[in-house]
Amino acid sequence: MASLLGTSSAAAAAILASTPFSARSSKSAVLSLFPSSGHSQGRKFYGGIRLPVKKGRSQFHVAISNVATEISPAQEQAQKLAEDNQRPVYPFPAIVGQDEMKLCLLLNVIDPKIGGVMIMGDRGTGKSTTVRSLVDLLPEIKVISGDPFNSDPEDQEVMSAEVRDKLRKGEQLPVSLTKINMVDLPLGATEDRVCGTIDIEKALTEGVKAFEPGLLAKANRGILYVDEVNLLDDHLVDVLLDSAASGWNTVEREGISISHPARFILIGSGNPEEGELRPQLLDRFGMHAQVGTVRDAELRVKIVEERGRFDKNPKEFRESYKGEQEKLQSQITSARSGLSSVTIDRDLRVKISKVCAELNVDGLRGDIVTNRAAKALAALKGRDKVTPEDIATVIPNCLRHRLRKDPLESIDSGLLVVEKFYEVFG
């Protein structure tokens, strides 16, 4: 650390690094130095920083106090302005074909607990375009104003420690509505940027040991999108696995110990020709969508023409799909509100588990995700009861990537699931 900060501030960095930080919260700590009473005091200079010292066994006492890492109103306004000026996104209803991928994405927006989507397919099939077009359809959620972790004012599981402490003390916290975040995780991201790290600038200029939240904090209660996920470095894959498993991100570095909620919908896309995904990470994706190149000549021409219209005048093109976009948004909002009332018969649950057991699916994630996805589909269609047709639609996407690989097997794993489904369900 000394080599990064320069020799003049090496001692200051050492002092900051050696300071205990026992409080696990989303707050950072202020380092206050003061002499003990009853002892003569002197002044010493350490790397340009003047510290009061005393004669005796210890040179100074250290007191830790908490400082909230909040987003100021000016920062919120700047973020909103940046969103308004961002490049136009291709509208979701304008995407031709690829119904399987679009359905998987919509079901995850309706029920985030499904656990995300892995989209694998040929290059140039619109995987990234479709995922990014989802931004316009994302509903609004309640968050604590100024909280960098998008804490839910009603659910303690996705609340930062600081917000929980304030609520325990009976403080009234301002609540605002904001759109669900979509965070892009670039392949070249560093672990510090993903997990968060100490704010060196504040540490040196203000004497504050502040935590700078990373992409996992920003993605809490939102979507984390990784393009070309099969090319992601192993150490970042480990970080994602840990957060996806626990729903929390824990940072232990430079004398800082902080845990914050990191519950997100993990969406990945990639080309299978560029390498396989680790089984542990693949299992974390709730659903798997297989995307193929459109072979119909008429559809291909339509896709080219639509893309040409968008490139020529994005604003006008988006306006032409505004009605369909709003209709789909209201359908998603209605499905989210009605999801809790959707039921599934025990007989259907037993059959789902029988399919999973006979396909030798490891663990119980397959059972859980299939039940959730079938309920989300019923809610999307405006029904309060799951039918076998709903299960038939979603079960290949929920189980395809969980089957054990047989190098001698030529049949697609999705077809194996469909065959077993009709065998069990009759």
The residues annotated with a catalytic role in the active site are 365
Per DSSP, helices labelled H in 339-410 are: 346-358, 365-380, 388-399
CA 264 to CA 284: how far, in whole Å? Answer: 12
What is the reported pLDDT for 123?
Answer: 85
Angle (CA) 335 226 193, round 5°: 115
51-78 as b/e, with b when 16 or more CB fall inside 10 Å? bebbeeeeeeeeeeeeebbeeeeeeeee
Nearest to 182 by CA among 128, 250, 240, 142: 128
88 vs 148: CA distance, rounded Å: 26
| Residue the block writes with tokens 């039940």 | 371
Q: Give the length of the chain.
A: 426
> Distances from the Cα of 364 to the Cαs of 74, 221, 357, in angstroms?
46, 24, 9
Q: How far apart are CA 392 and CA 372, in angstroms?
A: 13
Classify the phi-psi angles of 126: left when phi > 0, otherwise alpha if psi is within -120 to 50, otherwise beta: left
C-alpha to C-alpha distance for 321 and 310, rounded to whole angstroms: 11
Q: Tell the burial category of 98 from Cβ atoms under 10 Å away from its Cβ (0-12, 13-18, 19+).
A: buried
Contact (Cβ atoms closer than 8 angstroms) between residue 284 and residue 247: no
Contacts of residue 262, Cβ cutoff 8 Å, sequence gap at least 6: 216, 217, 219, 220, 243, 247, 248, 249
The tens-digit pLDDT sequence of the chain (426 residues) is 444 444 444 444 444 444 443 444 433 333 333 333 444 344 333 333 333 444 443 333 333 333 344 555 665 565 555 555 567 889 999 998 889 999 999 999 999 889 889 999 888 888 888 998 888 888 888 888 888 888 888 888 888 888 888 888 888 888 888 888 888 988 888 888 888 887 777 777 877 777 788 899 888 888 999 988 888 888 888 888 888 878 888 888 767 778 888 888 889 998 888 888 877 788 888 999 998 888 889 989 999 999 999 999 999 999 999 999 999 999 999 999 999 999 999 999 999 999 999 999 988 999 999 999 999 999 999 999 999 999 999 999 999 988 877 655 555 677 889 999 999 998
pLDDT at 388: 95
Cβ 114 vs Cβ 157: under 8 Å: no
- What is the DSSP code string of 253-314? ETTEEEEEE---EEEEEE-GGG-PPPHHHHHHSSEEEEE-----HHHHHHHHHHHHHHHH-H
Centre a 10 Å sphere on the Cβ of residue 408 and count the other Cβ atoms it contains.
4
